[in-house]
Amino acid sequence: MLRANFDATLSLLLFLVFAVTSVTALVMAAMARGDAYRAADKQTKNFWLIILGITVVVNLLLNILFLSIAGLIATIVFFVDVRPALKAVTGGGGGKRGGSSSDGPYGPYNGGR
C-alpha cells in the first residue's frame, strides 16, 4: 500500500516536472527572435519549436517515460546551451550592471592578483 502511494506520487511528480520544464522551454523558444538563433550559431528557431513542441505533446498526451526522458534531454540542452547563447546575442540578462567579458558571477575577475 505504501509503495503504491509512493510510486503514484513519484510518477505524478515526474510528470509535473517534465511538463513544466518542456512548456517553459517552448515558450522561451517562441519568444526569442528568429535571427538571434542564426547569430548565436545555433539551430533555427523552427527546429527548436518543433523539437520542444513534440516534447510538450509527448509529456502531456502520450506520457511514455522513455520519450519523456528524451524530451527532457532536449529541454536541458535548450536551457543550458541555446538559451544562454541567445541571451548573449540579444543583450538579455535584465540589464543588471555594465559588466565586461572578465566579470565573474560575483564581480570583476582580476586574474588572481
pTM over 0.85? The answer is no
22-81 pLDDT, tens digit per residue, is: 999 999 999 999 999 999 999 999 999 999 999 999 999 987 889 989 999 999 999 999
Q: What's 41-71 look like in SS3?
A: CCCCHHHHHHHHHHHHHHHHHHCCHHHHHHH
Nearby residues of 26 by Cβ (< 8 Å), 6 or more positions away: 49, 52, 53, 55, 56
Which cell numbers in the block locate residue 46?
Answer: 523552427
70-80 pLDDT, tens digit per residue, is: 999 999 999 99
Q: Collapsing DSSP states into helix, strand and coil, what is residue 103?
A: strand
Residue type, 94: G
